[in-house]
Amino acid sequence: MDRIDHYIRISQLIAREVNYELTREEKLELDNWLNESKENLDLYYNIRNREKFLDWDQQLHQINTVEGWNRFESTIKPHRSIDVFKTVLRYAAVILIPLFLSGIGYYIYNDISNLPQQYTQVNSSKQSKPKARLILADGSKVNLENEENVALKEKDGTLIERDAGSLKYQNKANAKSKVLYNTVEIPNGANYQLCLTDGTKVYLNSMSTLKFPTKFSGKTREVQLTGEAYFEVAKDREHPFLVNVSGTRIEVLGTSFNVKAYSDENEIVTTLVEGSVKVNASEIGKSTLLKPGQQAVVDDKRGGILVQDVDVDLFTSWKEGVFLFKAKRLEDIMNELTRWYDLKVFYMNPVVKDLRFGGHFNKDEEIESIMEMFELTRKINVEVNGKTILISAK
């Protein structure tokens, strides 16, 4: 087996491992490769390391692909080698993570053409994203489209600093003034950041709404969420932070966690990154305390709270501009993509909803490219017609 074929095989094994598809024989083959040298082991952990993985992905998107391909093509045999490498590219798309190009393939490419460490920015056409909207206490609406630094002021004196993609609240209100409430609405295809007056940071995902006071008063700090948000709560032991979502209350003192509670889903999912949170499902009369790396799923239909250990990156990568899936149902994946791309999805064969896929995409990818990757798995057929997607069994 030549060097390229060898790395193709290893990339396939690692990709299958990520997607929980390794057979017993393939696991033994991968283990044997890992045991061959420390270099193999280091490469494996670099590929599986999420931070390095995202760095590789960012570098990949900055490479001048036309120039790079032409240089690569000129260095290898004109027929079989090109076909092999194109096969690898297709396989990398199939497994939905750029393991070959971004990890192992980086070493192959260096071996063949000594790729320089300077990259040319690619001019890519990115879809226009709608912006968030701020609703002030008097009902007036502010479209957050202008990315220049602009300051707003509420009637109680609270200062609202507006920057590109974020709002920061500063409590300048009179201590005796009435508590006012603001609301931020996030449409399809947009994310937004808030910094509340207590210093708590909130990252809002697509199709989400957060209602919050311009200043916190009383014994608690309370906000109301619909949709999905990631919270980095400022520590204040005397004033617990409460997130209210559809009859469930999440109580924290100072911690980082993700809450997913879309109105079209039956579950309220709380994922704890650090600290501790108490999930109180008042409507079903149950509560639970989470530890870091745990997730609580409140299901009104089942009448309980499921607590499980999870990989938190799978539930928080969205705030980094990434879709990250691992052995996830196709229907659940499409629900997330629908909120971002504003799509309508029709399943011609209901059985395909339960097919499971792993994947890693940047949120600025075109939906056509993402769906092509799914189709290359040879599990489904996909037809994209504007904002409508038809999915059928292969």
pLDDT at 103: 44
Mean pLDDT on 318-330: 90
Average pLDDT over residues 46-67: 55
- CA-closest candidate to residue 42, choices 113, 94, 107, 114: 107
Q: Contact 147/42 with Cβ under 8 angstroms?
A: no
**Whether residues 80 and 31 fall in one domain:** yes
Is 194 domain-assigned? Answer: yes
From 81, 113, 145, the end of a domain falls on 113
pLDDT at residue 126 in the model: 42
Question: Is residue 273 in some structural domain?
Answer: yes
> Could you give the dihedral angle defined by the CA atoms of residues 209, 214, 218 and 220, in that order, rounded to the nearest 10 degrees?
30
Instruction: Judge if 67 and 201 occupy the same domain.
Output: no
Count of structural domains within the chain: 3
Decide which of 100 and 392 is more confident. Answer: 392
pLDDT of residue 123: 34
Whether residue 327 sits in one domain with residue 306: no
Residue 56 — pLDDT band, cuts 50, 70, 90? low
Residues 305 and 362 in one domain: no
DSSP state of 26: H
The pLDDT assigned to 317 comes to 92
Confidence (pLDDT) at 94: 41
Residues 191 and 227 in one domain: yes
Q: What is the mean pLDDT of residues 346-372?
A: 89
Q: Are residues 295 and 155 in the same domain?
A: yes
If asked whether residues 86 and 222 sit together in one domain, one would say no
What is each CA distance from 386 to 340, 341, 394, in whole angstroms?
A: 14, 11, 22
- Predicted confidence (pLDDT) at residue 286 exceeds the cutoff of 70: yes
Q: Is 286 helix (H, G, I), strand (E, B) or coil?
A: strand
Residues 30, 158: one domain?
no
171 vs 84, more confident: 171
For 325, the domain range is: 321-393
- CA pair distance 331, 297, nearest whole angstrom: 18
Between CA 9 and CA 11, with CA 10 as vertex, the angle to 5 degrees is 90
Q: 314, 344, 379 — which closes off a domain? A: 314
Residues 273 and 149 in one domain: yes
pLDDT value of residue 165: 82
Residue 60 and residue 92: Cα distance in Å, rounded? 13
pLDDT for res 122: 33
137 and 155 together in one domain: yes
For residue 173, the tally of other CB atoms under 10 A from its CB is 21
Q: What is the pLDDT of residues 369-392, one digit of tens each?
A: 888 888 888 889 999 988 899 999
Q: What is the reported pLDDT for 84?
A: 46
What pLDDT score was predicted for residue 304? 83
Task: State the pLDDT at residue 275.
Answer: 92
Residue 353 has a pLDDT of 93
User: CATH code at 375?
Assistant: 3.55.50.30
Which of 52 and 124 is assigned the larger pLDDT? Answer: 52
Region 101-112: what's the mean pLDDT?
Answer: 42
Evaluate whether residue 123 is within a structural domain.
Answer: no
Please check whether residues 200 and 228 belong to one and the same domain: yes
pLDDT at residue 113 greater than cutoff 90: no
The residue-averaged pLDDT of 22-37 equals 81
- Does 259 fall in a domain? yes
Domain-embedded: residue 344? yes
- Of 266, 294, 314, which residue constitutes the final position of a domain? 314
Collapse the DSSP code of 388 into the 3-class scheme (helix H, G, I; strand E, B; otherwise coil) and give the result: strand
CB 228 within 8 A of CB 262: yes
User: What does the pLDDT read at residue 299?
Assistant: 83
Residue 98 pLDDT > 50: no
Closest CA to 357 of 335, 381, 336, 374: 374
pLDDT at 29: 86
Instruction: Based on the fold, state whether residues 291 and 328 are members of the same structural domain.
Output: no
| Average pLDDT value for the chain | 78
If one compares 226 and 175, the residue with the highest pLDDT of the two is 226
> 3-state class of 100 per DSSP?
helix
Among 253, 249, 252, smallest CA distance to 268 is for 249
The predicted-structure confidence for 130-145, as pLDDT tens digits, reads as follows 578 999 999 999 888 6
Q: Which of 61-65, 209-213, 281-285 has the lowest mean pLDDT?
A: 61-65
Any domain includes 21: yes
Q: What CATH number has the domain bearing residue 222?
A: 2.60.120.1440
Report yes or no on 125 lying in a domain: no
What contacts 196, CB < 8 A, 6 or more positions away?
169, 202, 212, 216, 221, 223
pLDDT (0 to 100) of residue 147: 56
Q: Is 119 inside a domain boundary?
A: no
